[in-house]
């Protein structure tokens, strides 16, 4: 499998699966994080993603260590409005897509080029259009 080349100065975005796998030190995600560091990419996630990732059995020290190495972006009113607009444009609605929309709006507000690591590439690609490279993990 050939990994698409990330461009220096861009942003790598982790969805809940990406963040969870980073906490577990998954080989594929760890490789992406090393690539991001080598290429001077900013690594981010949405604060809304934390809601999906935190559960009683998560290794809290590993989570905290991982979070200390990435930027956790807030969901501001502007991000929420953009997320609602993305949902509307994609013909989607409801709680099933809300966190993906908040993550997508957060990603699209970040410096490009944007690469998103996700377990849900179809929804994220529908929300981001051609403005981000979406990688299934």
CATH code for the domain of 108: 3.40.50.1010
Range of the domain at 35: 11-136
**In the structure, what pLDDT confidence band is assigned to residue 3 with cuts at 50, 70 and 90?**
low
* Strand positions, DSSP E, the chain: 11-14, 42-46, 71-73, 114-118, 133-136
Q: Does residue 4 belong to any structural domain of this protein?
A: no
Q: What is the pLDDT of residue 94?
A: 84
For 13-61, what is each residue's pLDDT tens digit? 999 999 999 999 999 999 999 999 999 999 999 999 999 999 999 999 9
d(CA 79, CA 85): 10
Residue 1 lies in a domain: no
pLDDT digits (tens, 9 = 90+) for 105-125: 999 999 999 999 999 999 999
2 lies in a domain?
Answer: no
What is the per-residue pLDDT for 7?
47
User: Domain total for the chain?
Assistant: 1
Q: Identify the bridge partners of residue 46 per DSSP, sorted by sequence position.
A: 73
Dihedral class, residue 42 (left if φ above 0, else alpha if ψ from -120 to 50, else beta): beta
Whole-number pLDDT of residue 6? 47
Question: Is residue 43, in this structure, part of any structural domain at all?
Answer: yes
Confidence tier at 5 by pLDDT (50, 70, 90): low
Cβ-based neighbours of 104, under 8 Å, separated by 6 or more? 83, 86, 116, 124, 127, 128, 132
**What does the DSSP 8-state code read for residue 69?**
T
């Amino acid at each position: 499998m050939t990994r698409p080349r990330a461009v220096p100065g861009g942003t790598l975005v982790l969805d809940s699966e990406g963040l969870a796998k980073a906490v577990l030190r998954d080989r594929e995600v760890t490789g992406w994080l090393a690539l991001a560091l080598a290429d001077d990419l900013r690594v981010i996630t949405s604060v809304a993603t934390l809601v999906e990732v935190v559960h009683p059995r998560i290794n809290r020290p590993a989570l905290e260590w991982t979070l200390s190495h990435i930027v956790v972006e807030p969901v501001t009113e502007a991000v929420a409005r953009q997320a609602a607009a993305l949902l509307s444009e994609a013909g989607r609605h409801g709680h099933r897509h809300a966190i993906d929309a908040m993550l997508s709006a957060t990603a699209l507000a970040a410096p490009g080029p944007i690469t998103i690591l996700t377990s849900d590439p179809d929804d994220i690609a529908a929300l981001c259009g051609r403005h981000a490279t979406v990688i299934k993990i």
